[in-house]
Amino acid sequence: MNCHDFARKLETYLDGGSELRPALADHAGQCPSCREQLAWADRLLALPFAEPVTIHPEWTEQVVQAVLRDRRLRRRRRWAMTLAAAACLLLALLAQPLLRGTGQPQTEPGPLVAENQPSAPKPEPPPPPLPDLTLGSALRFGPTSLEATRNFASEAARQASSLTAAAPPIRPAPRRVDPVPDPMADLGRNASEGLEPVVRSTRRAFDAWLDLLPMPTEEKPGL
Amino acid sequence: MSADDVRLVKRCQRDDPEAIRELVERYQGEVLGLCVRLLGDRHEAEDVAQEVFVRVFRSLHRWDSTRPLRPWIMTIAVNRCRTFLARRRKRPEVREDLGNVPARSGGDGDGELLREIRQALEEVRPEYRIAFVLFHEQGRPYEFIAQALSRPVGTIKTWMHRCRQAVLERLKRRGMISEVGHELP
Ligand SMILES: [Zn+2]
């Protein structure tokens, strides 16, 4: 073995090739500089690295509490976001006729209106195309349902913002929400069915977003 | 894979606090031990180990129950430490000089050598340090390190070689090893 072979085999020895030790020692016995290398390798392998780590019960308790807190927080965030998404979608569905009404000839009310508001008086006679058609269209939905939706949406937004106030800005969701078919085509029948996949997609997207989040704010910052 | 681990994980997923405590207690020694070795600072190690457990419980639904739980948890621990080391490396001004910290093993030769090695590890790339600590201090095989760092075994061996070289260079500079020695290959 020459010095070059020695250096190569010394690396294998350090990687766990203890069977090479006699051959290395053989060369080291005749070569002072290689003897130094072997001595260093032996010391490295024999160093008392693995000192046991003592664990304090308070630390264990702190970890368990942090895990429980994180799980609670994630459940609440997921719930708030689902609520907000559902409210936004409902608002979008209800706002559609308002947008449609502007500048277009009046059409018959959709089935939802007929089903949900059987006692609501139809505008009689059909109103002429006036600049305030938007308002007229809104009234056909009835002030009660509009008001309830507005309250629902603002409450959901308030909960979502308070729960996620400490969180970093939301990154774009990795999944796009499925496109919603024209709800006015058969609004009454499709409304609940249409909401379900959107809420599910939003929930999935939100779960993915949660995985990217840093630790909850109650924990020490900077990690 | 241990059937016991599978049962425990299922209980954890039902938010059973006792199961969560049991899982933490089962793996805290190894996780905290690894963090202490990799970060060299007990307080930082406790913070990072806590974060490791939070992430473990967040990701439990992704654990493949046909594979053992221990390496999966240790991989998360290695990666959290790696991220932490990379961030810490960018702000070296806040680091205490470990070279001035007294060796834990007292004033003997081993203590001095350990202190010098740890100081040398502070100066190398986090990946080199992780490979060195996992191999020499934790006794993990190259296959485990390669999996934890998502690199081929050959790459890990190269990192390990460079890391040993860096440690050796420092020891030579500090006069702890003779300058006449050959370089490692
Ligand atoms: Zn030689």
Q: What is the pLDDT of residues B118-176, one digit of tens each?
A: 889 988 999 999 999 999 988 889 999 999 899 999 999 999 999 998 998 888 888 87
Read off the pLDDT band of B107 (50, 70, 90).
Answer: very low
In chain B, residues with a C-beta closer than 8 Å to the C-beta of A50 are 137-139
What domain range is A16 assigned to? 3-46
Mean pLDDT value of segment B17-35: 93
Read off the pLDDT band of B22 (50, 70, 90).
Answer: very high
CATH of domain B108-185: 1.10.10.10
Same domain, A19 and A65: no
Read off the pLDDT band of B18 (50, 70, 90).
Answer: very high
- How many domains would you assign to chain A? 2
pTM: 0.62
| Residue at A51 is within a domain | no
Peptide bond into A125 cis (omega under 30): yes
The Cα A105–Cα B131 span in angstroms is 73
The conformation of residue B137, written as its DSSP 8-state character, comes to I
Answer for the pair B122, B95: CB distance below 8 angstroms, yes or no: yes
Task: Give CATH 1.10.1740.10 domain extents, chain B.
Answer: 1-92
- The interface predicted TM-score (ipTM) is 0.81
In chain A, residues with a C-beta closer than 8 Å to the C-beta of B84 are 223
| Residue at A191 is within a domain | no
Are the Cβ atoms of A51 and B48 closer than 8 angstroms?
no
Give B116 or A187, the one with higher predicted confidence. B116
The per-residue pLDDT for A154 is: 73
A75-89, A207-221, B80-94: segment of lowest average pLDDT: A207-221
Read off the pLDDT band of A151 (50, 70, 90).
Answer: confident
B1-92 CATH, one of 1.10.1740.10, 3.90.1300.10, 3.40.50.620, 3.40.50.360 = 1.10.1740.10
Same domain, A30 and A83: no
Amino acid letter at B73?
I
Q: Identify the three-state secondary structure at position B183.
A: coil
Same domain, A71 and A151: yes
Same domain, A80 and A27: no
| Residue at A17 is within a domain | yes
Gap from CA of A22 to ligand 1 centroid (Å): 14
What is the 3-state secondary structure of B42-89? Answer: HHHHHHHHHHHHHHHHHCHHHCCCCCCHHHHHHHHHHHHHHHHHHHHH
Whether residue A217 is predicted with pLDDT greater than 70 in this model: the reply is: no
Structure confidence by residue, pLDDT tens digits, B45-101: 999 999 999 999 999 999 998 888 998 999 999 999 999 988 887 765 544 444 333
Mean pLDDT value of segment A41-52: 79
Same domain, A96 and A15: no
Whether residue A215 is predicted with pLDDT greater than 70 in this model: the reply is: no
Q: Which chain A residue lies closest to B85 (C-alpha atoms)? A: A223
Residue B107 neighbours by CB distance under 10 Å: 8
Task: Give CATH 1.10.10.10 domain extents, chain B.
Answer: 108-185
| Residue at A121 is within a domain | no
Structure tokens at A165: 């106030």
Answer for the pair A64, B20: CB distance below 8 angstroms, yes or no: yes
Answer for the pair A120, A140: CB distance below 8 angstroms, yes or no: yes
The Cα B63–Cα B59 span in angstroms is 7
Question: Which one of A143, A166, A189 terminates a domain?
Answer: A166
Peptide bond into A129 cis (omega under 30): no
Q: Which chain A residue lies closest to B16 (C-alpha atoms)? A: A68
Write the CB contacts of A171 (distance below 8 Å, at least 6 apart in sequence).
A209, A212
Amino acid letter at A93?
L
The per-residue pLDDT for A192 is: 53
Question: Which one of A142, A166, A190 terminates a domain?
Answer: A166
Structure confidence by residue, pLDDT tens digits, A180-198: 555 455 555 555 555 666 6
Answer for the pair B40, B98: CB distance below 8 angstroms, yes or no: yes
Write the CB contacts of B141 (distance below 8 Å, at least 6 apart in sequence).
none
Whether residue B110 is predicted with pLDDT greater than 60 in this model: the reply is: yes
